[in-house]
Structure 1
Amino acid sequence: MQAFPMNPDRLEAPLELLDDAGSAWQLQKMRVDLRAVRRLMKDRASIVVLGESGGTCPRLVAEDERPMLWDKVKDGYKGPGGSRTAGRYLAHEFRADADRRRLYLEEHC
């Protein structure tokens, strides 16, 4: 999967994410509300990507890893609806088409 030169929150739109299959995912929404993050993480049809190292090194999140990751995100989300302004996570939604969604979680140290 494509790595970003800096975290997606600091890049200007239009922003595109290329996956390993060569599919292009377009940034749909930056700084997604925590309620939408929860919904997308629980939706098995949605792909969840964790951008480690400040959001620059993406990796797919396995289905069985999502509940544990959600526990961390809900308590440390710095985007809309989050409980901390200095949280560790921020999320963005990418789409390949109307039905295919990808949640991109930036993880900051």
Structure 2
Amino acid sequence: MQTFPRNPDRLEAPVQLTDDTGTAWQLRKRRIDLRAVRRLMKDRAATVILGESGGTRPRLVADSERPLLWAAVRDGYRGPGGSPSASRYLAHEFRAGTDRRMLYVEEHC
């Protein structure tokens, strides 16, 4: 999967991510609300990506990892609907076509 020079939140539009299958995902919404993060995390049709190393190194999140990731994001989300003092996670929504959705979770230390 392609890496980013900076986290997606700091890149100028248009932002695109190409996955290992060659699918081009376009950034649709930055800093999505925590309720939208929860919906996408639970939606098995949505792809979930964890951007490690400050959001620059994306990796696919396995279905079995989603509950643990959700618990961490829920308690440490710094975007809308999260805790103002939280500073570890931020999420964005990407789309491929009109019907494929991806949740991109940035992880910051």
Fold-level match, TM-score > 0.5?
yes
**Aligned twin of 2:49:** 49
How far is 1:85 from its partner?
3.9
Task: Indicate if the aligned counterparts of 1:32 and 1:93 stay in contact, CA closer than 8 A.
Answer: yes
2 CA distance for matches of 1:84 and 1:66? 23
**Aligned twin of 1:33:** 33
Unaligned runs of 5+ in 2: none
State the Cα deviation string for residues 30-54 of structure 1 (Å, max 9, x = none).
Answer: 0010000000000000000000000
How far is 1:99 from its partner?
1.0
Q: For this pair of structures, how many residues does the alignment match? A: 109
**Aligned twin of 1:90:** 90
How far is 1:103 from its partner?
0.5
Unaligned runs of 5+ in 1: none
After superposition, where does 1:4-43 map in structure 2 within 5 Å?
4-43=4-43
**Aligned twin of 1:102:** 102
C-alpha RMSD over aligned residues: 0.8
Q: Which runs of 4+ in 1 moved over 6 A?
A: none
How far is 1:89 from its partner?
0.2
Instruction: Give percent identity, aligned residues only.
Output: 74
How far is 1:94 from its partner?
0.3
How far is 1:83 from its partner?
1.4
Task: Indicate if the aligned counterparts of 1:49 and 1:59 stay in contact, CA closer than 8 A.
Answer: yes
**Aligned twin of 2:74:** 74
SS at 2:36 equivalent: helix
Task: Indicate if the aligned counterparts of 1:79 and 1:85 stay in contact, CA closer than 8 A.
Answer: no
How far is 1:96 from its partner?
0.3
SS at 2:67 equivalent: helix
